[in-house]
Amino acid sequence: MKKHIVCLGDSNTHGYCADPGDCADHGSRFNENERWTCLLQKALGEEYLVLEEGLSGRTTVFADPLHESMDALSVVYSILMSHEPVDLLVIMLGTNDTKDRLGMNAACIALGLSRLIDKCKSVPCWGSRGPNILVVCPPHIGEELNDPCMGAGCAAKSRELSRYYEPVAKAQGCAYLDAQGIAEFNTIDYMHLTRKGHSQLAGALAGIIPDLV
């Protein structure tokens, strides 16, 4: 059986494209030759199966009052069990947790991440090595963000996430990657990966994942 790599994330894992001119299909989603998950699959080769679990708007554990089932905590059992045995879970969440309407600071978001990791570890989905998780801290939201639905203070909270995420990953025994400075965000909405950013993230992950599984 191939090694199952589950990628749990938000719109940046789903492949949302804020600039149609940056997408080969000129749509709102990068295609299978552009998304980091698909590029990671190509880089890792046939011994691996990279499974996309990206949902636009997804948070770690915080329920969104405007949309249902946006928190990973409430759905992660079924996600992981549907892909068992899981050899590695890649979690890249936190950008949506900074939304003003959720009322969370960076420290609370990190506590949410830790709670989510606890839940993931408890799911009986893991391969022979047991729970194996890589936490990816998302790139910083740009200061230029002007999105009333995200609200004020998102960029500042986003910049602080790595300060709290890395200790959480270490305490939980998870591998860790800070994507800031590795994968670029666009200059349209300042919170989604460019096509180049997808390629950059895939390259960085392809360099470390073989040593984790």
Residue pair 40/53 in contact (Cβ under 8 Å)? The answer is no
Chain position carrying tokens 């990279």? 50
Q: Place 161 in a pLDDT band, splitting at 50, 70 and 90.
A: very high
Residue pair 50/44 in contact (Cβ under 8 Å)? The answer is yes
Other beta carbons within 10 angstroms of residue 17's beta carbon come to 26
For residues 36-54, give the mean pLDDT.
Answer: 98
DSSP string, 86-119: BSEEEEE--TGGG-GGGT--HHHHHHHHHHHHHH
Topology at the third CATH level for domain 3-211: Rossmann fold (3.40.50)
Give the CA angle between residues 17, 12, 155 to the nearest 5°: 100
What is the chain's mean pLDDT, rounded?
97
Locate the domains of the chain by residue range. Answer: 3-211
By CB atoms closer than 10 A (0-12, 13-18, 19+), residue 103 is exposed
Q: First CA to last CA across the chain, in angstroms? A: 13
Please tell me the predicted confidence (pLDDT) of residue 146. Answer: 87
b/e map 131-161, b = 16+ CB within 10 Å: bbbbbbbbbbbbeebeeeebeeebbebbebb
For residues 28-43, give the mean pLDDT.
Answer: 98
C-alpha to C-alpha distance for 33 and 45, rounded to whole angstroms:
14
- pLDDT digits over 47-56, tens only? 999 999 999 9
- pLDDT digits over 92-120, tens only? 999 999 999 999 999 999 999 999 999 99
Q: What is the C-alpha R_g of the chain? A: 16
Count helices and strands in the chain by DSSP H and E runs: 6, 5
Please tell me the predicted confidence (pLDDT) of residue 144. Answer: 94
- pLDDT digits over 132-141, tens only? 999 999 999 9
Residue pair 76/112 in contact (Cβ under 8 Å)? The answer is no
C-alpha to C-alpha distance for 91 and 113, rounded to whole angstroms:
9
Strand order in 3-9's β-sheet? Answer: 48-54, 3-9, 88-92, 133-137, 175-178
- What is the DSSP secondary structure assignment for residue 176, as one 8-state letter? E
- pLDDT digits over 60-78, tens only? 999 999 999 999 999 999 9
For residues 118-145, give the mean pLDDT.
Answer: 97
Q: 201 by DSSP, 3-state: which?
A: helix
